[in-house]
Amino acid sequence: MPEGDTIFRAARTLHRALAGRTVTRFETVFPAVSRVDDDRPLVGRTIEGVSAVGKNVMMRFSGDLILRTHLRMNGSWHIYRPGERWQRSAAALRVLVETADFVAVGFDVPVAELLTPRALARHPQLRRLGPDLLAETFDEDEAVRRLRARAGDPIADVLLDQAVVAGAGNVYKSEILFLCRTHPRTAVGELSDATLREIVRTGRRLLAANVGGAAPGHSVPYTGLRRTTRRADPTARLWVYGRRGAPCRTCGAAVVADKGGLHARSTYWCPGCQPETGAHTNVSSPAPSRLT
């Protein structure tokens, strides 16, 4: 499933291309969306904006209609100029929004809905979303409260639950816990509030650095490759994720990995920096001794 930074960048790209423009063509393969469009056509409406809410892309139209899409594992949005050749087959088209200048195509999008603001506010999946790590108005206290409510569960599993905090995925889960020197199987109840706050703040810092925005302590802006190490070298951009068997960039121990949780997602960690001892060091700004 795409992580929060990927969804944020997709929504921002759509917003830059489409906001303020008039819909000239709309297509979809979703019958429920087609029925709404038949009753309240999107053609002729202005696209007021596109934003990310957790891992949802929200496209707002004049006249109080919102197109919600969720990409899950395989969905993606592409932007083309009218007449430009698509990079994907038309058979993969699920939603199309065209203006005079751009065509936005949702390929293999598994979830799409046309909603009113009232329906959106009452949407069961959106109402249960936790605080969004990329939101400007982020409620850290609420995030910690939701984490604490899962006291008996491993922190690695809890970080993936979008009802606790929205935006973190498999890569960030491993990278956040490495930077906070926390073993992924540690039960939330074993962690102090200070450590939980550091986990949340680290998540916000890493995601912010990977959407092109300024992030405290980051000297390397986002350039197209997700990175958590502050290094421009593309071969040294992540601490532990995807590096099973490689030496830890801090202590040299071999990075390990296993699969666990409801969906058997891979988790990477360093047994030297993240010992399974119950004594986890809270660090506000990790300063690695070396980087390989």
Residue written as token pair 């409510």: 149
Q: Which amino acid is at 66?
A: I
Nearest 5°: phi and psi at 17?
A: -80, -35
Q: Is 55 a catalytic residue?
A: yes
Instruction: Name beta bridge partners: 96.
Output: 27, 105
Q: Is 40 a catalytic residue?
A: no
Q: Which of 9, 45, 231, 265 is catalytic?
A: 265
Q: Is 198 a catalytic residue?
A: no
Q: How far, CA to CA in Å, does 262 sit from each of 42, 149, 209?
A: 39, 18, 29
Taking the C-alpha atoms of residue 156 and residue 124, their distance in angstroms, rounded to an integer, is: 25
Taking the C-alpha atoms of residue 254 and residue 45, their distance in angstroms, rounded to an integer, is: 56
Whether 108 and 92 have beta carbons less than 8 Å apart is answered as yes
Q: Is 2 a catalytic residue?
A: yes
Instruction: Supply 172's token pair.
Output: 């960030």
Taking the C-alpha atoms of residue 186 and residue 173, their distance in angstroms, rounded to an integer, is: 13
83, burial (CB in 10 Å: exposed 0-12, middle 13-18, buried 19+): exposed
Taking the C-alpha atoms of residue 190 and residue 175, their distance in angstroms, rounded to an integer, is: 20
Residue 249 C-alpha from the chain's centroid: 25
Task: Cite the active site residues.
Answer: 2-3, 55, 265
